[in-house]
Amino acid sequence: MEQALSDVRGLSLDLKDIGHAFGATVALDRIDLTVAAGELIALLGPSGCGKTTMLQIIAGFLRPSRGEVRFDGARVEHIPANRRRIGMVFQNYALFPHLTVFENVAYGLRARKTAKDVIAAKVEQMLGLAQMASFARRLPGELSGGQQQRVALARALAIDPGLVLLDEPFSALDKNLRLDMQIEIKSLLKTFGVTSIIVTHDQEEALSMADRIVVLNKGRIEQIDSPDALYDRPASLFISSFIGHTNLLRGTVTDTDRVQLDAGPEIDLGRSAQRRRGTPVTISVRPENITFDAERPGAIPVTIRATVPLGAVSVTEGVTATGEAVKVSQARASGLAKVQAGDMAWLAISDVSRVSIFSTPVDDVSKHQQRSV
Amino acid sequence: MLPVIPLAALFLAAFVLPLIALVAISLFRTPQFAELSLAQYLRFFSDPFSIKVLTDTLWLGTEVALATLVLAYPLALVYAASGQLMRTLITFLIMLPLLTSTVVRTFAWIVLLGRDGIINTAMLSLGLWQAPARLLYTWEGMVLALTQIQLPLMALPVINSLLRLDGNLTRAAEGLGASRARVFITIILPLTLPGAIAGWLLVFAAAATAFITQTLVGGGRIILMPSYIYQQAVGVQDWPFSAALSLIFTLAVTGIVFAIGALSRRYVRGVDAA
Amino acid sequence: MSLSRRSLLTTGSAALAAASLGWPTSSRAAPSIVATTYPGSFDEAFRAVVGPAFKKSSDGGVTFTPLLGVDQIGKIQASRNTPPFDVVLFDEGPLIPAIASGVLEKFPVERSKSYADIPSAFRHPDGYAPVITAQLIGIAYNPKKITTPPTSWEDLWKPEYKGRVGITGLGSSLGTAFMVEIAKLNGGSETNIEPAFEAMKKLLPNVGAIAASPGALAALFQQGEIDIAFNFWNNVALLAAKGVDIAFAKPKSGAVVIRTSAQIVKNNQDPKAVLDYLDTVMSVETQKGLEAAPWMMMPTNGKVALTGANLTVAKSLDDLIASNVLLDWTKFQPLRGEWITRFSKEVKI
């Protein structure tokens, strides 16, 4: 049995040039995505980015206005949801409130007219894996959020799906519980070898769960990459501010490899800025890539606003003369610079190679900046 | 607490006191209010005719409630699947009977069902019927009219509970492989049951006690509890018996209403009762 | 029984008293008396003819309340001291329990101006107010469907009228008078109703509809549900005037006359106005107005001659009384309750 479970049994998914519009509103545009069998993908994006529409199209609740959906190479747009062999886990779990845990997990099997004893065995196995065996007779209303989550997953997996879709599966959980459940569910999905797609607006969730992350913005795919690549090499200003925290600083290209920051110093990128001289740019520097420095040319002068201890790290925020906020993240273990609100301080970029440059209109920059504060 | 007092007073004056009077009157043996006894109740329960009138009346309520239920669900499903404009239109059509008086609605049915009425005229001129059918003054005609008149009482709570149903539940069921019919029977129906039961109780009570429609569409041939009570009180002037009839009828209707309410609370698990 | 008779009675009557006290009585101060009418054409006629006539002859006015005869007694009994009406309308039957319950006042014969004109058949033997109109019961039929006018009550039983006959129950004077007349014609009497029930069973194959009330019976003609029924002359004449295919036939045994009187309620607000009102109703002028088209109500004032369509059923008031049937309602009114219940149980289609 253990052997069978670790087999790759998920199906592969291809989306080709998917487009969808609700009336005049374009929800999805030119979506191309290939998911390998057994892969765990996160669809990440802010609300209204089109990720739910995409999920509904994959699940078969919505027929795309344009494009192809293929499961294991075969087109499925015409196949209704109830014949797609997809397991779904909803944001609110959508457990049937009038059915017991057992009946919930058995629902898909009964719909498939499975023999009674087979159902009993399968449900028992599923509940065992989800560590919910002792709750079989309970009603969903009598379970905690985490327990409901496990039942929802057991129900989705009981039908031996080729694909599991999880729609914001952790958003209803306590923050403390979230990481535990993320690890637990990731391991369950991996054990089953099922292809999985998690829809989320929470970048931490996406980073911790997914093999690859698809970042959606305004109905389009901005970037598809591994969590690390996404973090270190964001393809757009949007991603750099959406994934993790970052500091955005305005500046102007002064030479092939140099940028004059509005906040003061000119920095040496150590590589080509790939823009003509005089181009206004925004550079993105992660808080952990900034350190406190002494007063010297090249350091950024700021006025300290506040320091927030966050357990393992401590985050200090300063404001440049131009009013741009800059966060500095320091590992507690390596000792903290002693600064107080109102102090003058100088900041330096530790690793210039991890700085991203974007040419973006300034008013757009300030908007992103406000959101990240 | 204080604002409740006027309401309580009104309830006491308009409901409790007359009810007490009714109980008192029903305990007299003769229409001249002589001698206290349970004779009126014995008379009712030993008279097959009276019992038949009661069971017919309760059955009428049940039939009309069933008919409205069968109509309300398709209507509610269409409503839930419709856009704003269509919803407004459906709401208007559902509410329409409530905006006219019972008498007007009932007369409309007389015009429809009569021997020279719209239905008969249409069927005859289309050649579908050879002779005019008797529709007015029949049990079926009465059920039909009451069904239309009481439909809002069923449709509105059913629509309301359907709209409150989490769309993810039906999507989850469908995703698990259930057909539309299975989703309806195993998910939609049980989870909208509170609405259906609320509608059932309203329609049952309203149809069983619909004196005007029963009399005008059912005619003098069909004797049901409301007209029986009226006849005994006003025609025969036998107040004790009609008081007993009223109490028995009231108890039967409220008894059924409470029993169904209690049963549903027991069997509808995990569903928001509201 | 745990409740004592006394406490029960106290509670019951207290509840009744509370209910009757609950109604505002301030409106009674208006210088207008309240008189009941029967719903329908009766009410229309009184508003059109009696209302204006009374207004002319007195200081106050009259407010009409349409109500079925049987409903009136209960309402007066519920508040004897401040009755909701001053003058009430009764057919012969319901008048009997009304008198028995003591809610009516006798008629001050000596002070009345119109009493002398009323023939004895329309005066009350015990001194209550006289009859103000006579209602004739005969056979109503659809002349388009029934080309040979019926001539006797037996015609209703003719097989060719299968499913075309309309009837109504004993709750109304109409149904009661018909049943008693049928009993009499079949060897029964005003107290022996048995033959009428026998005959009714034989009539059932012909019965197309049982109307809940006389008014509903008339509506059945308009709906085309029935072609023949017993009915009031006055109703038939009104419908015919409105263009409904309906005609009236007087059975050869005579039409049954229902004597309807307006009675004085005890504790009324203005005895003089009430007497004025009754005198107005019985006056030659008012009775002429009620007799004329479109109302065609049979007068009870001997000085009023019959005109128009009324002449087709009687030559004069004397002829009306002489050639038709008067029933002694005192004999069977007490039995009616039983008959009503029996009719509901036995007469079913």
Instruction: Report the gap between the CA of B187 and the closest CA in chain A (Å).
Output: 7
- Hey, are the CB atoms on B234 and C70 less than 8 Å from each other? yes
Query: What confidence tier does C7 reach under pLDDT thresholds 50, 70, 90?
Result: very low
With H, G, I as helix, E, B as strand and everything else as coil, classify residue C293: coil
- pLDDT at position C20 is 39
- Tell me what ipTM this predicted complex has: 0.77
Residue type, A286: R
The string of pLDDT tens digits covering residues C124-161 is: 999 999 999 999 999 999 999 999 999 999 999 999 99
Pull the structure tokens for residue C325.
Answer: 């049937």
pLDDT at A373 over 60: no
- pLDDT at position B127 is 86
Same domain (yes/no): A359, A308: yes
* CA–CA gap between residue A285 and residue A326 (Å, rounded): 9
> Matching CATH topology for C31-134+258-325 and C135-257+329-346?
yes
Instruction: Report the gap between the CA of A2 and the closest CA in chain B (Å).
Output: 24
pLDDT, mean of residues C282-290: 95
- pLDDT at position A174 is 80
In angstroms, the Cα distances linking A16 to A31, A269, B249 are 6, 38, 68
Which of C19, C74, C340 faces B17 most closely, judged by CB atoms?
A: C19
- pLDDT at position C222 is 83
The single-letter DSSP state of residue A257 is T
- pLDDT at position B219 is 80
- pLDDT at position C111 is 93
pLDDT at C255 over 90: yes
End position of a domain, from candidates A198, A232, A266: A232
- Tally Cβ neighbours within 10 Å of residue C17: 13
- Tally Cβ neighbours within 10 Å of residue A340: 10
- The larger pLDDT score, comparing residue A314 to residue C149, is at C149
Q: What percent of chain A has pLDDT over 90?
A: 39
Which of A90, A108, A159 faces B168 most closely, judged by CB atoms?
A: A90
Same domain (yes/no): A210, A263: no
**Is C86 in contact with C34 (CB distance < 8 Å)?**
yes
Residue pointed to by tokens 């839930």? B80
The string of pLDDT tens digits covering residues A47-57 is: 888 898 999 99
Same domain (yes/no): A222, A251: no
pLDDT, mean of residues A312-338: 83
Among C230, C223, C231, C234, residue whose Cα is nearest residue C199:
C230
Among A206, A201, A200, residue whose Cα is nearest residue A228:
A206
Q: What are phi and psi of A64, to 5 degrees?
A: -65, 150
Task: Name chain B contacts of C336, Cβ cutoff 8 Å.
Answer: 235-236
Q: What percent of chain B has pLDDT over 90?
A: 50
Among A13, A136, A137, residue whose Cα is nearest residue A77:
A13
- Domain assignment present for residue A62? The answer is yes
End position of a domain, from candidates A232, A259, A274: A232
pLDDT, mean of residues A199-227: 91
Q: Average per-residue pLDDT in chain B?
A: 88
The string of pLDDT tens digits covering residues B144-165 is: 999 988 999 999 999 999 999 9
Please classify residue A247 by burial: count the beta carbons closer than 10 Å to its beta carbon, then call 0-12 exposed, 13-18 middle and 19+ buried. buried
Q: What are phi and psi of B178, to 5 degrees?
A: -80, 140
Residue pointed to by tokens 């374009």? A26
Same domain (yes/no): A37, A116: yes
Whether C205 and chain B come into contact, CB under 8 Å, resolves to: no
- pLDDT at position A18 is 94
- Hey, are the CB atoms on A111 and B178 less than 8 Å from each other? yes
* CA–CA gap between residue C232 and residue C239 (Å, rounded): 11
**Is B200 in contact with B65 (CB distance < 8 Å)?**
yes
With H, G, I as helix, E, B as strand and everything else as coil, classify residue B27: coil
Mutation target for B interface from C67, C341, C343, C349: give the one with most B CBs within 10 A.
Answer: C341
Instruction: Report the gap between the CA of A139 and the closest CA in chain B (Å).
Output: 7
pLDDT at B263 over 80: yes
Superfamily of domain C135-257+329-346: Periplasmic binding protein-like II (3.40.190.10)
Please classify residue C144 by burial: count the beta carbons closer than 10 Å to its beta carbon, then call 0-12 exposed, 13-18 middle and 19+ buried. exposed
Residue type, A225: D
Counting CB pairs under 8 A, whether chains A and C reach 3 or more, is no
Whether A171 and chain B come into contact, CB under 8 Å, resolves to: no
Residues 6+ apart with CB under 8 A from B168: A90, A91, A92, A94
Pull the structure tokens for residue A256.
Answer: 């092939």
- pLDDT at position A276 is 83
Same domain (yes/no): A147, A7: yes
pLDDT at A228 over 60: yes
- pLDDT at position C24 is 39
Q: Which of A158-167, B227-236, C289-298 has the lowest mean pLDDT?
A: B227-236
- pLDDT at position A363 is 59
- pLDDT at position A267 is 85
C-alpha dihedral over C120, C123, C125, C127, to 10 degrees?
Answer: -140
What residue spans define the domains of chain B? Answer: 40-101+135-267
**Is C284 in contact with C270 (CB distance < 8 Å)?**
no
pLDDT, mean of residues A318-327: 89
Query: What confidence tier does B51 reach under pLDDT thresholds 50, 70, 90?
Result: very high
The single-letter DSSP state of residue B188 is I
CATH number of the domain to which A286 belongs:
2.40.50.140
- pLDDT at position A368 is 45
Residue pointed to by tokens 């019959």? C306
The string of pLDDT tens digits covering residues B58-117 is: 999 999 999 999 999 999 999 998 989 999 999 898 888 788 888 888 888 888 888 778
Instruction: Give CA A280 to chain center in angstroms.
Output: 30
Question: Burial letters for C19-38: b for 16+ Cβ neighbours within 10 Å, e otherwise?
Answer: bbeeeeeeeeeeebbbbbbb
Domain count of the fold of chain A: 2
Among A162, A10, A151, residue whose Cα is nearest residue A92:
A151
- The larger pLDDT score, comparing residue C30 to residue C202, is at C202
pLDDT, mean of residues A78-99: 90
pLDDT, mean of residues A32-59: 92
Pull the structure tokens for residue A320.
Answer: 């440049």
Task: Name chain B contacts of A97, Cβ cutoff 8 Å.
Answer: 191, 269-272
- Hey, are the CB atoms on A112 and B166 less than 8 Å from each other? no
Walk across the sheet containing A356-358 and list its strands. Answer: A266-268, A258-261, A247-255, A280-285, A356-358
pLDDT at C167 over 50: yes
- pLDDT at position A361 is 58
Note the CATH architecture for domain C31-134+258-325. 3-Layer(aba) Sandwich (3.40)
The single-letter DSSP state of residue B268 is S
Q: What are the helix (H) ranges across chain A?
A: 2-6, 51-59, 101-111, 116-129, 145-158, 175-192, 203-209, 227-232, 237-242, 362-372
Same domain (yes/no): A273, A196: no
Query: What confidence tier does A33 reach under pLDDT thresholds 50, 70, 90?
Result: very high
Pull the structure tokens for residue B232.
Answer: 């005994």
Question: What DSSP letter does each residue of A312-331 carry, written as one string?
Answer: TEEEEEEEETTS-EEEEEEE
Mutation target for A interface from B85, B170, B176: give the one with most A CBs within 10 A.
Answer: B176
The string of pLDDT tens digits covering residues B129-149 is: 888 888 888 899 899 999 988
For residue B254, list its beta bridge partners.
none
- Hey, are the CB atoms on A108 and B177 less than 8 Å from each other? yes
Q: What percent of chain C has pLDDT over 90?
A: 64
Same domain (yes/no): A249, A227: no
Q: Average per-residue pLDDT in chain C?
A: 87
With H, G, I as helix, E, B as strand and everything else as coil, classify residue C61: strand
pLDDT, mean of residues C266-277: 92
- Domain assignment present for residue A240? The answer is no
- Tally Cβ neighbours within 10 Å of residue A158: 25
pLDDT at A365 over 60: no
pLDDT, mean of residues C304-316: 91
Query: What confidence tier does C5 reach under pLDDT thresholds 50, 70, 90?
Result: very low
pLDDT at A87 over 70: yes
* CA–CA gap between residue B135 and residue B131 (Å, rounded): 12
In angstroms, the Cα distances linking B36 to B155, C231, C341 are 46, 42, 23
The string of pLDDT tens digits covering residues C312-342 is: 889 999 999 999 999 999 999 999 988 998 9
pLDDT, mean of residues B262-272: 70
Q: What are phi and psi of C183, to 5 degrees?
A: -60, -45
- pLDDT at position A8 is 52
Residue type, A351: D
Task: Name chain C contacts of B234, Cβ cutoff 8 Å.
Answer: 68, 70-71, 74, 171
Q: Average per-residue pLDDT in chain A?
A: 86
Q: What are phi and psi of A293, to 5 degrees?
A: -140, 175
* CA–CA gap between residue A43 and residue A51 (Å, rounded): 6
Pull the structure tokens for residue A120.
Answer: 């009993």
Angle at C150 between CA C146 and CA C152, to 5 degrees: 155
- pLDDT at position B98 is 81
Whether C345 and chain B come into contact, CB under 8 Å, resolves to: yes
Same domain (yes/no): A14, A149: yes
Task: Name chain C contacts of B219, Cβ cutoff 8 Å.
Answer: 209-212, 216
For residue A75, list its beta bridge partners.
A70
The single-letter DSSP state of residue A352 is G
pLDDT at A171 over 90: no
Q: Which of A171-175, B46-50, B71-75, C243-247 has the lowest mean pLDDT?
A: A171-175
Pull the structure tokens for residue C18.
Answer: 């509370």
Reported pTM: 0.75
pLDDT at C120 over 90: yes
- Hey, are the CB atoms on A61 and B190 less than 8 Å from each other? no
Task: Name chain A contacts of B174, Cβ cutoff 8 Å.
Answer: 61, 80-82
Same domain (yes/no): A50, A113: yes
Instruction: Report the gap between the CA of C300 and the closest CA in chain B (Å).
Output: 27
Instruction: Give CA A306 to chain center in angstroms.
Output: 29
What residue spans define the domains of chain C? Answer: 31-134+258-325, 135-257+329-346
Walk across the sheet containing A74-75 and list its strands. Answer: A25-35, A13-22, A66-71, A74-75
Same domain (yes/no): A63, A168: yes
- The larger pLDDT score, comparing residue B3 to residue A363, is at B3
Note the CATH architecture for domain B40-101+135-267. Orthogonal Bundle (1.10)
- Domain assignment present for residue A216? The answer is yes
* CA–CA gap between residue A260 and residue A258 (Å, rounded): 7
**Is C177 in contact with C258 (CB distance < 8 Å)?**
yes
- The larger pLDDT score, comparing residue B22 to residue B107, is at B22
- Hey, are the CB atoms on C212 and B219 less than 8 Å from each other? yes
Structural domain boundaries, residue A251: 245-372
Residue type, C38: Y
- pLDDT at position A364 is 54
pLDDT at C202 over 70: yes
Which subunits sit against C, judged by 3+ Cβ pairs under 8 A?
B
Task: Name chain C contacts of B24, Cβ cutoff 8 Å.
Answer: 8-9, 11-13, 15
- Domain assignment present for residue A239? The answer is no
Residue pointed to by tokens 């049928």? C182
pLDDT, mean of residues C167-173: 90
Neighbouring C-alpha atoms within 13 Å toward the C-beta of C315 = 4
Whether C21 and chain B come into contact, CB under 8 Å, resolves to: no
Same domain (yes/no): A153, A193: yes
- Tally Cβ neighbours within 10 Å of residue C243: 8
pLDDT, mean of residues C38-65: 88
pLDDT, mean of residues B2-9: 79
Counting CB pairs under 8 A, whether chains B and A reach 3 or more, is yes
Same domain (yes/no): A128, A195: yes
The string of pLDDT tens digits covering residues B190-226 is: 999 889 999 999 999 999 999 988 888 888 788 899 9
Residues 6+ apart with CB under 8 A from B225: B53, B54, B57, B208, B209, B245, B249
Pull the structure tokens for residue A38.
Answer: 């057994």
Walk across the sheet containing A195-200 and list its strands. Answer: A86-89, A163-167, A195-200, A40-44, A212-217, A220-225
